[in-house]
Amino acid sequence: MGAVAVSPVIAGLGTALPPSTGQQQLWDGFFARHFPDSTRALAERIFANSGVTRRQAAVNPLLEDVSDWPTERRMRRYLVEALPLGKEAVGRALTSAGLDAAEIGLFAVCSCTGYVTPGLDILLARDLGMAPETQRMFIGHMGCYAALPGLGVVSDFVAARGRPALLLCTELTSLHIQPSSARVDTQQIVSHALFSDAAVAAVVTPGGRPGYAVREVASVTDTSTADHMTWDVTDTGFRMGLSPKVPQVLSSHVRKLVDGLLARHGLRVPEVDGWAVHPGGPRILNVVERELEIPPGGLVASRATLDEHGNCSSPTVLLILDRLRREPCPPEWIVMLAFGPGLTLYATLLQRSPSI
């Protein structure tokens, strides 16, 4: 009988968060005057119903208004803020996994909120002491779902090469507050009410370690709805486009995607005891909960992450995973779901190692 393939294992996670501020403080101290009279009442309702109580900002608008900064200035600041955050997250993930930076065979970085060359992958590899032979990959402009294809890339490397790999997701959405406008722009109000900053790193190793085995990464993209979610580079930062039809598109695809993923592993939805669903907003979570018929309380970790951290784009689903793995009785099976431009839905199935 041939050898049984061993799934790559998420053996360590590390998070780094900028200072946190209350949602009401952000409204009272900045956004109430950022939005003109014509849209202020609408904006206040959206902020109040965002599902967010606190969120992080590397560049806090209460202290520094970047809304009129040119993109060049924002990109210079991105490097200043992202480098130490990434370093902190990676250091914690390596410590959690009990590995040295020099042991990493592939270092992948996901980010859609800033671009620099040399990139974070090169600069962090240098500063952390990774080997010159360490392979690197930068995954940009995939948005909120990038952590899951990133996890797929590093997992495939581990399975093929038998060496540890490292994934870092770093986003600084606070750098992309848009200029005030008299025009009613609900999409900008929603993005300004939800988005937050974070860095999360994951160490993936060959099997045999405590952690969560990556059983499969799957996706579906509905290209007929490509204009429903956009992230445009403008002269004043990156501008979010967010159609109110996004939850409707998710409702059309999420059940088939998840059922197919689970069926390939002999599972059904009721057997999943952990859900890490990217909280693009309260409506997104409500749609997923309804379409998948997730039992009451199944999305507690996702809603708590939205409440405490906001939508941090690509790191968010890893923040939820970190919360789940720290529970007194960690889940046996976890489905991670994230959504973004395309419209694209990504799903990942994790299984807890017996030794965790």
189 and 224: one domain?
Answer: no
For residues 276 and 150, membership in a common domain is answered with no
**Residue 111 corresponds to which amino acid?**
S
Residue 2: band (very low, low, confident or very high) from pLDDT cuts 50, 70, 90: very low
Q: How far apart are CA 51 and CA 28, in angstroms?
A: 17
Looking at the structure, do residues 195 and 221 belong to the same domain, yes or no?
Answer: no
What DSSP letter does each residue of 248-277 carry, written as one string? HHHHHHHHHHHHHHHHTTT--GGG--EEEE
Instruction: State the pairing for strand pair 237-242/229-234.
Output: antiparallel
Please report the pLDDT score of residue 185 as a whole number: 85
Total domains, the chain: 2
pLDDT in tens, 194-245: 999 999 999 999 987 899 999 999 999 999 999 998 999 999 999 999 888 9
Q: Print the domain residue range for 216.
A: 212-352
197 lies in the same domain as 236 = no
Say what the pLDDT of residue 3 is.
40
- Judge whether 274 lies within some domain: yes
Domain end call among 157, 188, 205: 205
Given 205, 236, 262, the domain boundary residue is: 205
DSSP 180: P
Task: Examine residue 243 and state whether it is found in any structural domain, yes or no.
Answer: yes
Is the domain of 173 the same as that of 255?
Answer: no
Q: Residue 3 falls within a domain, yes or no? A: no
Residue 1 lies in a domain: no
Cα 217 to Cα 7: distance, rounded to the nearest angstrom: 12
Q: Does the pLDDT at position 5 exceed 80?
A: no
pLDDT of residue 184: 67
Check whether residue 78 and residue 181 sit in a common domain.
Answer: yes
- CATH number of the domain at 185, please: 3.40.47.10
Among 145, 170, 205, the domain boundary falls at 205
255 in the same domain as 188:
no
Pair 249, 322 in one domain: yes
Q: Does residue 84 lie within any of the structural domains?
A: yes
- Count CB atoms within 10 A of the CB of residue 75: 16
If DSSP codes are grouped into helix, strand and coil, which group holds residue 6? coil
In tens, the pLDDT along 47-101 reads 999 999 999 999 999 999 999 999 999 999 999 999 999 999 999 999 999 999 9
Taking the C-alpha atoms of residue 111 and residue 171, their distance in angstroms, rounded to an integer, is: 6
Task: Give yes or no for residue 6 having a pLDDT over 80.
Answer: no
In eight-state DSSP terms, residue 176 is G
Residues 169 and 255 in one domain: no
